[in-house]
């Protein structure tokens, strides 16, 4: 799972960025490297918002107004996505190893 996340973050997302925007994705990755390290070090995506904004302002990768609007929204969406991923993973594991134990009610409780 970690390997898939690394491939997604370092290959697929930069490829989509390059195709859609016709810009060098590695310039963006170098810009947000400090934010990534801060996020890993603090274990908080909310703590990285000011650092990401300052990186974007210094490197002029993204318009400041757009970054100030989208970064908080993307951070909250990312947190929700993680919660959904954990719930779906729990349901998958229960269905895989104990298929008869999971009822509709217990699925709703997990969600």
What tens-digit pLDDT sequence spans the chain (111 residues)?
567 777 888 888 889 989 988 888 888 888 788 888 888 888 887 888 888 888 888 877 778 888 889 888 888 777 666 777 788 888 888 888 887 777 777 777 776
| Claim to verify: residue 57 and residue 84 sit in the same structural domain | no
Q: How many domains does the chain fold into?
A: 2
| Claim to verify: residue 8 and residue 51 sit in the same structural domain | yes
Give Cβ neighbours of residue 102 (< 8 Å, ≥ 6 apart). 91, 94, 95
CA distance 89 to 100: 17
| Claim to verify: residue 49 and residue 86 sit in the same structural domain | no
Contact 51, 35 (CB under 8 A): yes
| Claim to verify: residue 36 and residue 64 sit in the same structural domain | yes
| Claim to verify: residue 57 and residue 96 sit in the same structural domain | no
Task: Enter the pTM of the model.
Answer: 0.57
């Amino acid at each position: 799972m970690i390997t898939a996340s690394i491939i997604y973050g370092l290959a697929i997302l930069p490829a989509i960025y390059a195709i859609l925007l016709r810009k060098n994705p590695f310039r963006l990755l170098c810009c947000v490297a400090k934010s990534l390290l801060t996020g890993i070090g603090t274990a908080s995506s909310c703590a990285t918002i000011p650092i990401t904004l300052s990186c974007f302002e210094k490197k002029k990768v993204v318009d400041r107004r757009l970054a100030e609007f989208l970064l908080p929204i993307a951070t909250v969406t990312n947190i929700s996505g993680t919660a959904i991923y954990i719930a779906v993973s729990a349901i998958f594991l229960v269905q895989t190893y104990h298929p008869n134990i999971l009822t509709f009610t217990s699925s709703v409780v997990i969600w």
